[in-house]
Amino acid sequence: MSELKKLEAGGPHNPEGHVIRNYLDLLLDLPWVTEEKKSIDIAEARRVLESNHNGLEKVKERIIQHLAVMKLKQEKQGSILLLTGPPGTGKTSLGKSIADALGRKYVRVSFGGVKDEAEIRGHRRTYVGALPGRIIQGMKKAGTKNPVFILDEVDKLSSSYAGDPASALLEVLDPEQNGTFSDHYLEVPYDLSEVLFIATANSVANIPWPLLDRMEMIEISGYTKNEKFAIARDHLLPSTLEEHGLDADKLKIEDEALKVIIEKYTREAGVRQLKKQLAKTARFVSEKIVSGKVDFPYVVKADMLKEILGKEVIRQEEARKENVPGVVTGLAWTPVGGDILFIEGTFMPGNGKLTLTGQLGDVMKESAKISLSLVRSRLANTANSFDFTSSDIHIHVPSGATPKDGPSAGVTLFTALTSLIMGKAVDPKLAMTGEITLSGAVLPVGGIKEKILAAHRAGIKKVILPKENERDLEDVPDDVRSELKFIPVETIEEVLKEALDIDLPRPIVSYTGNGFAATQNV
């Protein structure tokens, strides 16, 4: 018997025998030879994506383009896809659909909480309890050299004394290096160049730049109410009925009830909470069926939801019926979509102090200070003789328990201060977003789609937004865009003309001998 076979056999005097056997089993089980490749059918891929996913038109089109490039390059992998977006928006299920569309094996590995480099590269066989890394284990599970490999939650990787797993992923995801990927346990170069890697993340903020640079990001912003309704009706409800031993002959949920569940019982960019509410409804009906208390089919109507799901849990902000001077409606981006917020201002006798409340972040505090400086410099001669030196100004942004920050409230803060000082109210059906500078320019901001959807949901009719953000309106659904009037602006003069019907003169800066001074160009 050769020395290798003796080592493999193990025994009382050779406890390492099982390690060698596991190593040889791994070498034999790994796919080393590429089987006959199946041609990529773009039409079939498009059909699978359309049947499995409602909405996400740009995302699906980008995936189709990626597959078309793979077909032209004879499946040589290029860029690595990174699907990023809020929880429950279908990032992982999109990866599964891509595997189905290509007719390939599907492998998923989650990196949530991983902080050991050996999870990626494997342990050296000299250590007790040594194992190959998750990449090699996934390839063994797939049994093929070209699976669709989902790297879930790559933004949850973290560094520790055991190394940096995000850096170890660089070799896996770099097309120039992964043809000879080396696992410490395997100690043999392994070719990963035929694997289609798809990473998912909730936020790119925690992904190191060198790793992010190797991936091409596809952003999934979330679903509209109409898209959620279609997803619930066509996908979530049938799967929920099957999971609870029901079918359409035993339980039916009216369309109006589905819409109420979406609007009053869930608040999210994705549909995960929506599925939980449908499951809660299915459990309620299952108990009735088992107890023999209902006749088939059991039809759930909107007025029955309080009994089934309890009281409504979501309070939607709605446009006010009437505004007083100093109150303006702003638009905000949140991780679960968009929302409207009210900026309120008042003044009282004092010595010119500015007070800010509502848990505002540093960026919003600076925007408020810029707004006050602009108001004092541009409205000093037209502000109804308002004495800034003998009055304190207080700005509050409800709700006070919710932290708020971001570079998009400058226009709203400036308009609120102007409305307060001039004593003119702003139309409650008008909302606005945009950042300002000391020179009076209006700068573009992000999250336009989510903000516009929030405005539409709240009953807003007109939206003021930076002119450079006009191109972002293409992302807004047509049915929403058609019901709103958009006013693009470039300067604060345009903002005040539209919001308060005030013709604010532009300043002329002149030299007086003691320095530069701004005068009004009347």
Positions marked catalytic: 408, 451
CA–CA separation, 349 vs 10, rounded Å?
Answer: 89
Total number of residues shown for the chain: 522
E strand or H helix at 357, and its extent?
strand 354-357
Counting DSSP H helices and E strands in the chain, the numbers are 19, 20
Q: What is the DSSP string of 473-498?
A: GGGS-HHHHTT-EEEEESBHHHHHHH
Question: What are phi and psi for residue 426, nearest 5 degrees?
Answer: -95, 145
Say how many CA atoms lie within 13 Å of 372 toward its Cβ: 20
CA–CA distances in Å: residue 271 to residues 70, 236, 322, 343: 31, 9, 34, 30
Question: What are phi and psi for residue 520, nearest 5 degrees?
Answer: -85, 135
Contacts of 59 (CB under 8 A, 6+ apart): 83, 94, 218, 220
The token duo for 7 is 């080592």
Which amino acid does the sequence have at 486?
A: F
Q: What is the DSSP string of 285-319?
A: HHHHHHTT---SSEEE-GGGHHHHH-S--------
CB 95 within 8 A of CB 106: yes
Q: Which long-range contacts (CB under 8 A, 24 or more apart) does 128-132 make?
A: 130/19, 130/185, 131/185, 132/26, 132/183, 132/185, 132/186
Question: What are phi and psi for residue 486, nearest 5 degrees?
Answer: -110, 135
Q: Which residues pair with 472 in a beta bridge?
A: none
In terms of Cα–Cα distance, which of 276, 265, 266, 228 is closest to 56?
Answer: 228
CB 222 within 8 A of CB 173: no
Question: Does the bond joining 297 to the residue before it have cis omega, within 30 degrees of 0?
Answer: yes
Inter-axis angle of helices 42-52 and 91-102, nearest 10: 150
Q: What is the DSSP string of 308-351?
A: HH-S---------S---TTEEEEEEEETTEEEEEEEEEEEEESS
Contacts of 451 (CB under 8 A, 6+ apart): 331, 332, 333, 338, 433
In terms of Cα–Cα distance, which of 30, 18, 21, 20 is closest to 138?
Answer: 30
The token duo for 22 is 């596991």
Give the torsion through C-alpha atoms of 468, 473, 474, 479, to 10 deg.
Answer: -170
